[in-house]
Amino acid sequence: MMGDALYVTVVVPTHGRKALLQQLLESLYKQTYSHDKFEIVVVHNYSNDGTEEAVREWRKISPVPLHYVKKHNNTPTPSRHYGGTHAKGDIIAFIDDDCIAEPDWIANGARQFASALSERPVGLVQGKTLPNPSHPRRFLEKTVNISSASIFFETCNIFYSKAAFDAVGGFSTEFMDKFYGEDTDLGWKVKKAGFEVVFEESATVYHHVFHVSFWKWLKEPLFFKHLPYLMDKHPELRSFMWHRYFLTVETAFFQLLLLGIVLTLFSHIGFSVLCLPYVIQRYRSGSAMPNPILRVIRIGAGLPRSLFTWYALTSGSIRYRSILL
């Protein structure tokens, strides 16, 4: 395999997930890629849960070089940046501690850097990430599902050439204390620097399916507050938004719903028709639910989350003077 000649550094940021980290490492030990051609770097955003002691024990039986670094960061970004900056490999493979890699994950990702037909050097290869099929699915859950090329370049499953990572300076300093957007920014920096971007569906990992509280589920869209900044820094992203200034068709119709409510309360009940596009869109987007009653319930349950999304995008648009609603 041509990709076997390339040395790979797998970077794993972790915090408070000792059991999940062990599952990930076990999947990395089973990789078909030559064990003398990759290393694992665990960058521990320190948590007093026994992770440090466990990794030091796992190092004794690891079939590949397993390095441990303890940091005290506020977010995963500095951990990933440290791992990427100090990587020995020709390729940096980022994966999260709540994922499990398929046995040929590294082999299929690394192969793309050596076999590309384009004249431009490959800068990044994004893999496919699916919810772990052995985990039960829930209405209130957190997981990742990336089945095709993503404009957000999520770091739960992505490979960078070390040359491309270094050429753009790694992760940008303005994202070091943010929980969202650093991966998107890095991917677009590499793409705009002239490197080829590839999606390889056979480089597959499975993401843990977490059950979350209603409050945590509601608050999750607050991370979107940094999206308007990304639109300003990388205007190319706007072509992927709905009519350039809306995150999705649903967020656009939510604006109409809010306008309809205000006009109905202060003007005429006829303006309530403006609420219909949002209701219809929510009903249609719930097509995976065959029961129409559950789809109606889904509309009501989605309203407060849509409100949180609206607040995040509106406040971010004002803060960064870049409109995205």
Q: pLDDT tens digits, residue range 263-313? A: 999 999 999 999 999 999 988 887 666 777 877 887 888 899 999 999 999
- Could you tell me if 315 and 225 are in contact, meaning their C-beta atoms sit under 8 angstroms apart? yes
Which pairing describes strands 122-131 and 38-45: parallel, antiparallel, or unpaired?
unpaired
The answer as to whether 222 is a domain residue is no
pLDDT at 261 (0 to 100): 95
The answer as to whether 253 is a domain residue is yes
Q: Which two tokens stand for residue 237?
A: 């992203």
What is the per-residue pLDDT across 227-255, written as a single tens digit (0 to 9) for each?
999 999 999 999 999 999 999 999 999 99
The answer as to whether 104 is a domain residue is yes
Are 129 and 204 in the same domain? yes
Give percent of the chain with pLDDT exceeding 70: 97
> First CA to last CA across the chain, in angstroms?
47
Residue with tokens 């960061």: 73
Q: 166 is in which domain, residue-wise?
A: 2-211
**Maximum CA pair distance of the chain?**
73
Are 160 and 273 in the same domain? no
Number of domains comprising the chain = 2
Are 85 and 160 in the same domain? yes
Whole-angstrom Cα distance, residue 169 to residue 161?
13
CATH of the domain at 131: 3.90.550.10
Are 72 and 29 in the same domain? yes
Q: What are the residues whose beta carbons fall under 8 Å from the beta carbon of 131, sequence distance 6 or more?
A: 137, 143, 144, 145, 206, 207, 209
Are 25 and 167 in the same domain? yes
Are 78 and 31 in the same domain? yes
Low-confidence ranges of the chain (pLDDT < 70): 1-4, 115-118, 287-289
Are 52 and 123 in the same domain? yes
